[in-house]
Chains A and B, each alone.
Chain A
Amino acid sequence: MSMEALPFDLQILNALAALLLLISFAMLSQRRIVSLVNLLAVQGALLCVATVLLAWRTGAHHLYLSAALTLTLKVIFLPWLLHRLIRQLGVYWDTDPLINTTGTMLIGVLVVVFSFGLAQPISALASTATRNAIGIAVAVVLIAFMTMITRRKAMSQVVGFLSMENGLFFGAMSATYGMPMIVEFGVALDVLVAMLVLGVFFFQIREQFDSLDLKHLESLKEDQ
């Protein structure tokens, strides 16, 4: 497990993976929605750099294309769209999450331990140079899950959803050097459409309940 055996570009990839995990934790604790979206953009940018580096290392040209896709969609377009929605809807804070911040973070650490254990057999089977990072990808996915679970506002849940997609993408990248191009395009389109539909949804939810708090959706009858 010595670091000296690794070439420098792999070291950078590992460092990027570690940073992705760090950003996931920052998202877990962030209560300002604007910062949450910015963190999502940074996570996308890190993912893009990692993809380019891996493409350069392996010579897999389709990875350049998916890096470009990541850049346009996850770093530029979706954050821009989210920022616009935040301004239009006027939701800036997602205070008072279901569990307090410190508790969430500690559970997050347990989640990381769990996902590292979960990824161990997969890493053992994979033949890629980046197989160690699979554990981190699983952790990013599960922490994004936690972000969605512990938040009340629809907006931060959507950001959690997008971050989960980042984690999945990173997992595919480190396990098999990326998914087939057609699948990648499909997923990108899915995310894009989901985002657009959810944007319309936000307005509907607010019109119905005068807030974006999703706990209103939990009651089945009108007046409880």
Chain B
Amino acid sequence: MTAFDWIAQTLGIVGSVAAAPLFLGWVNQCRAWLQNKSAPPLMQPYRGIRKLFYKDAVIAANASPLFRLAPYVVFAAMVTAAAIIPSIATRLPFTRAADAIALVGLFATARVFVSLAAMDVGTAFGTLGARREMMIGFLAEPALLMVIFVAALISTSTALPAISEFLATQTLALYPSLAFTAVAFTMVLLAENARIPIDNPATHLELTMIHEAMLLEYSARHLALMEWAAALKLFNYVCIGLALFVPWGLTTQHAPFALVTSALLLGAKLLIAGAGIALIETVSAKLRVFRAPEFLATAFLLAVLGLLVHLLLGA
């Protein structure tokens, strides 16, 4: 590991953390355009976070230290995840540190802390949101693991950088199994990031919200960190998807020029992915909470089918 690697790694982490709200802003803008509304400015998420950091925090009298601790833990988990995911280069110090299964565990840690903090104050909405979040998490996680297992079987490694490198350097072949799992992954991405078929990020209507219900008691810097972490989670998920299914252009070399091209390509891919998410959200309707298991069971089924098809056809 040279000094250059560490500089590139630091730049990667800082870049992810800094660009995450921008990506969220882009998704929101695309969605507004598609729905014939005038779009909020691209920088709106940054403004929201900045505003929240300037405010004074109000915390419920019966909140335990866990309530104050949770935003920092969640944010730290997302930053660590950003370090592990090979978003611009595959051979960086941290990307080799943990494999994809550990990454799923990292997301689970963040989910547990958000849910515990939501139940901590004891309001009805917080508890409701936490329960729903746990239900969706427990259904989405097996599907996500199955998706990772298919990619791992194809490339014979569970480490994300190794998977991306294998798929990027291989001769172009049709992988029906990867196509199935890509669809499954998109469904999991939408469910885990509280996007439309499962949860609507733009609503504060009490009966339908999941993610927002858990954040109701937070204010000021804590809320800012939670929202930033949510933006970073979406960014991370999209980067995992890109690393698994469109790894081309990810650099394996360690030259400044290669890193710059890789970063530019990542930007282009993110633009397309963001527009795609906005399109899916526009054309689909929000499901009832009780239909969510069906949605996620379909994702799980697709991932398992991908696995079986890979085992049978080797494709």
Q: B36 within 8 Å of A by Cβ?
A: no
Instruction: Tell me if B294 and A18 are in contact (CB < 8 A).
Output: no
Rounded to whole angstroms, the CA-CA distance of A116 and B311 in the bound complex is 9
Rounded to whole angstroms, the CA-CA distance of A25 and B313 in the bound complex is 18
Rounded to whole angstroms, the CA-CA distance of A15 and B178 in the bound complex is 11
The interface residues of chain B lying within 8 Å CB-to-CB of A108 are: 301
> Which residue among B177, B304, B305 has the maximum number of chain A CB atoms within 10 Å of its CB?
B305
Picked from B298, B304, B315, the residue with its CB within 8 Å of the CB of A11 is B315
- Evaluate whether A18 and B180 lie within 8 angstroms (CB atoms) in the complex, with A102-B294, A116-B308 already known: yes
Residue tally, chain B, CB below 8 Å to A:
24
Residues 1-36 of A at the B interface (beta carbon under 8 Å): 1-4, 6, 8, 11-12, 14-15, 17-19, 21-22, 25, 29
Rounded to whole angstroms, the CA-CA distance of A101 and B176 in the bound complex is 24
1/0 contact string of A102-114 vs chain B (CB within 8 Å): 1001101100110
The A contact surface, by secondary structure, is helix
CB distance from B173 to the nearest CB of A (A): 4
The B contact surface, by secondary structure, is helix
Q: B245 within 8 Å of A by Cβ?
A: no
Instruction: Tell me if B305 and A25 are in contact (CB < 8 A).
Output: yes
Instruction: Tell me if B305 and A14 are in contact (CB < 8 A).
Output: no
> Which residue among A17, A18, A102, A108 has the maximum number of chain B CB atoms within 10 Å of its CB?
A18
Please name 6 further chain A to chain B contacts, defined as beta carbons within 8 Å, in addition to the given A132-B314, A133-B313, sorted by A numbering.
A1-B314, A3-B175, A3-B314, A15-B176, A18-B177, A29-B298
Residues on A facing B (Cβ under 8 Å) = 1-4, 6, 8, 11-12, 14-15, 17-19, 21-22, 25, 29, 101-102, 105-106, 108-109, 112-113, 116, 132-133, 135-136
Can you list 26 A-B pairs, Cβ within 8 angstroms, ordered by A? Answer: A1-B314, A3-B173, A3-B174, A3-B175, A3-B314, A4-B173, A6-B173, A6-B315, A11-B315, A15-B176, A17-B176, A18-B313, A18-B315, A25-B305, A102-B293, A105-B297, A105-B301, A108-B301, A109-B305, A109-B308, A112-B305, A112-B308, A113-B308, A116-B311, A132-B312, A132-B314
